[in-house]
Amino acid sequence: MKDESCIFCQIINKSIPSNIVYEDELSLAFLDIFPVSKGHMIVIPKDHYQNIEDISDDILTHIMRIVKQLSILIRERLNVEGYNILQNNFPAAGQVINHCHFHIIPRNNDDAKFKMRIPRTQASEEYLKKVLDLLKI
């Protein structure tokens, strides 16, 4: 299944050029045209899924294997100290293209590209208990 209006589906169909790093029957990985750092790439399923909630467990497992393989490749070949794996769902979380995708962003200790800010105030036990009650399976 494809969505012809989706830019990632157009990349899969080769109607939009891209710099493909890896391709198999289920997935495609290409360099991001707005890279956060050298080697920043995107890994996508070839079938169109809006976000992680829509993708099958089998395809997701396959994609994550590719993400792992490419992350190791990036670290070794680009000689970076680490990498972020980023996956956004829905606009509130920063998803811009509605095709499930994973970013692999090469990082070095001193790059200052972006940092996750952990709150300095610890949550109360009461707060954590309320949240736990809502989420516990």
Give the list of residues 6+ apart from residue 120 with CB closer than 8 angstroms, or none: none
| CA dist., res. 101 & res. 31, Å (int) | 12
Which one of 40, 48, 99, 101 is the catalytic residue?
101
Give me the phi and psi of 122, to 5 degrees please: -75, 140
In 3-state terms, what secondary structure has residue 134? helix
Residues in the chain: 137
| CA dist., res. 23 & res. 93, Å (int) | 27
Q: Specify whether 101 is catalytic.
A: yes
Give me the phi and psi of 123, to 5 degrees please: -70, 145
Catalytically active residues are: 101
